[in-house]
Structure 1
Amino acid sequence: MKELLLVRHAKSSWANPGQDDFDRPLNERGQKDAPMMAQRLIQRGVSINGIITSTALRAITTARFFAIENSIAEKDIIKHEFLYHAPPERFVKAILQIPDTITTAAIFAHNPGITDFVNQLSEARIDDMPTCCVFAIKINTDSWKDFSKAKKEFWFADWPKRL
C-alpha cells in the first residue's frame, strides 16, 4: 500500500507586481499555513517519507516546511521543473519516478493542474484546491510504477481554513 498527498503551495505574495510568477515567495499567511498544515498531518498520524515539488519558489518553500516537520533533508527533496503549472499527465510522470522505498509521498504543485489531477483519482471531488490544501489517497500497490492501473481510494482532504 502506498499513500499519496497532493499539496497546493501555500499562499504566495503579490507584493512585487513586476516579479516573475515563477519567483514569487510565500506571503506572511503562507509562511504560517505551511508549517501548521505539516503539523496537522503529524497530529493525524501521517508521516511523509518522500517529497516531490515543482521548482517554483512558492512550491519549494512550502515543501521545505513539510520536509522539516518530517525530518527529510533538503538534499532528499525531489525537484521537477515540469511540475510548474503542470497538467494532470505530468503528475503521473512524477509519480512513476518515485522510488519504491518511499511509502508516503507528498507532491507540491499549482492550480489549476493539481485540482484537475485530484479530481481524476477517486470519487471525491474538490472544486478548487485552496492554498496549502492537502488531498490524500491510498493506492493499492507496492510499486509506484503501477500507479496508473492500481486501485485508488480517497483518504482525506484538509486545508488551513477548514477548521
Structure 2
Amino acid sequence: MKTLFLVRHAKSSRDDPSLPDRLRPLDDRGRHDASKMGKRLADRGVEPDLLVSSPALRALTTAQLIADEIGYKRKDIVIDEILYASSPDNLLSVICALDDGLGRVMLFGHNPEFAGLAHRLSSTIIDMATCAIAEFCFDAKAWADVAEIGPTKVRMDAPKK
C-alpha cells in the first residue's frame, strides 16, 4: 500500500511586492492554517515516511509547520526544485521515482500543478484551496504503479472544513 499526500502551501503574504516569488512568506492566517492542518493529521495518527517540499519559502514553511505537529524532524524535509513551477507530469515523475521502501509520502507545493495532478489521480477533486491536503491510497508495491492505477481511497481536507 502506498499513500500520497499532496499539500498545497498555506496562504502567503503579498505585502512586499519587491520580494521574488520564491521568497514570499506565509501570512498570519497561513501559519495558523498550516499548524491546524498538521494537528488534524496528528489526531489521525498520520506518520509519513518522507516530506518533500518545493524550495519556495511559503511551501517549505507550510511543510515545517505541519512537520512540527506530526513529529517529523524539520531537518529531514527534502527540498526538490521540480516541485516549484512544475507540471502535473513532472510531479508524477517525482512520485514514480520515489524509493519503493517508502509507504507514506507528503509533497508540498503549488497550484495549479497540485490541483491538476490531484484531479488527474481522482476526478472527484476539482481544486485545492490554500493548505488543502489531498490524500490518495494506492494498492501498489511500487510508486511507479501510481501512474497506471487509480487510488483505492481518496480523502480531501482543507482548513475551512
Tell me the TM-score normalized by structure 1. Answer: 0.92
- For residues 41 and 66 of structure 2, the distance between their equivalents in structure 1, rounded to whole angstroms, comes to 9
After TM superposition, give the deviation of residue 104 of structure 1 in Å: 1.2
Cα distance in 1 between the residues matched to 2:88 and 2:149:
17
Q: Tell me what 2:78 maps to.
A: 78
* Offset, 1:153: 2.9
What is the count of residue pairs matched by the alignment? 161
Identity of aligned residues (%): 38
Match of 1:111 in 2: 111
Structure 1's unaligned 5+ residue stretches are none
Asked if 2 retains the 8 angstrom alpha-carbon contact of 1:122 and 1:154, the reply is no
Q: Deviations over 1:76-102 (max 9, x none)?
A: 212111211221011112112322232
Displacement, 1:109? 0.6
SS state at 1:99 partner:
coil
Give the match for residue 19 of structure 1: 19
Detail structure 1 runs of 4+ shifted over 6 Å in the superposition: none
In the other structure, the counterpart of 1:150 is: 149
In 2, the alpha carbon distance for the partners of 1:137 and 1:64 equals: 21
Once the two structures are superposed, residues 18-67 of structure 1 have per-residue CA deviations (whole angstroms, 9 ceiling, x without a partner) of 11111101000111110110111122332222111111000011011122
Alpha-carbon distance between aligned partners in 2 of 1:93 and 1:116, rounded to the nearest angstrom: 14
Give the TM-score taking structure 2 as reference length. Answer: 0.93
Q: 2:138 — aligned with what?
A: 139
User: Equivalents in 2 of 1:150, 1:6: separation in Å?
Assistant: 17
- Verify the 8 A CA contact 1:134 1:157 in the aligned structure 2: yes
